[in-house]
Amino acid sequence: MLRTGVWLWLCVLPLHALHGTAAGPRQREVTDMAGRRVSIPHTVNRVFTDRFVSLMAFALDTGMTCNATFRVSPAAGKYISAAYYRDKPLAETNEEEILKLRPDVILWSFLDASSVQAADRMQTKLHIPVLLVKFGIADYRSAYEFLGQALHRREAAGRIIDFLDRYLIPLHERTGKIPEEKRPSVYYAEGSRGLNTEPAGSLHSQVIDYLHARNVATVQVGGVHGMAAVTIEQVWRWNPDVILVWPGFPSGAGLPRQVKREESTKEHILTDPLWKRMNAVRNGRVFQVPSLPFGWTDRPPSVNCVPGVLWLACRLYPETVTLDLNEALQGCFRLFYHVEITDSDLALLYAGE
């Protein structure tokens, strides 16, 4: 019996020695983006992520993530490397699955104080270090600086930061200098009839906010999943310059899915007499957000928003933004999704507009 107990203890010891949070000779201490000091292994080969950090980590190193958080449809498969989902379980919060995958580190999204409490609980229970990561568009640069340093992926992080410095950050700065009265007013139409939306400050309206457009929706944020309900009378009163039509829910998001969601919402807006009275419809400024491999503006609200910033800047500010959009998007897909796409591929992605 004693020999059996010692054997079991020896079998369990490596897991705790590898994932314990007390600093040891093979570990180092880092400060995550919530200010938590966490001891992690000197070499990080495998990470487990939640859905908001999943694509961020995958962009950094395709072989590092040990789980996927979204299904990839056959249509989307052309636009993201199969390394994202091939031979990886679709898992996010199952603790048994996390232990079975034996990641060196867990990367978790940092939303607020509750994220800190959840990370501390998870770390204590699973004996695996948990690093909290900011995932807002304005935080991408600092997030990749942190991830590059913490995970020893500085070279890959540097390439992404160079892209952000070349494209995204200048767009934010340039559009911020446009006088407010010259910035377009935007309504973000969600749901099958366009009568759900996101106000400024929502996780799902980050692209609009980042480009300093005037979000007309004066409603309460509809929680993490968003989609605050509005009436057609409210949209009439707002009478936006631009209507941005949502890309729909991603597969695997655990939320209702619409059939032919891209066409149904936009077609309804373009053909319904009540919508046709609005300036955006009359002036041909109703834009369908591309949705492959994931929505370009949200769902998830992660680095899949990078192409959305590039695309929407050209749609909102055609006289101000002089960007070779195809070239920028090809570089974006190369860095974040690890695929090469052509002008013909992009034409198909734009086709829903």
Digit-coded pLDDT (tens) for 256-285: 444 444 446 999 999 999 999 999 999 999
Tokens representing 107?
């990367």
pLDDT for position 11: 41
Q: What is the pTM of this model?
A: 0.89
Residues 248, 256: Cα–Cα separation, whole Å: 10
Residue 193 has pLDDT above 70, yes or no: yes
pLDDT tier, 247 (very low <50, low <70, confident <90, very high otherwise)? confident
Question: What DSSP letter does each residue of 48-80 carry, written as one string?
Answer: EE-HHHHHHHHHH-TTTB--BSS---TTGGGGS
DSSP code for 249: P
Contact 46, 101 (CB under 8 A): yes
Looking at every residue in the chain, the average pLDDT score rounds to 89
Residue 25 has pLDDT above 50, yes or no: yes
Contact 73, 51 (CB under 8 A): no
Contact 67, 57 (CB under 8 A): no
Kindly give the residue spans of alpha helices, DSSP state H, lying in 225-322: 232-238, 261-271, 273-276, 279-282, 305-316
DSSP code for 197: E
More confident call, 88 vs 222: 88
Residues 219, 94: Cα–Cα separation, whole Å: 34
pLDDT for position 326: 98
Residues 47, 267: Cα–Cα separation, whole Å: 42
Residue 331 has pLDDT above 60, yes or no: yes
Q: What is the mean pLDDT of residues 82-101?
A: 94
pLDDT tens sequence across 95-139: 999 999 999 999 999 999 999 999 999 999 999 999 999 999 999
pLDDT for position 251: 38
- 86: left (phi > 0), else alpha (psi -120 to 50), else beta? beta
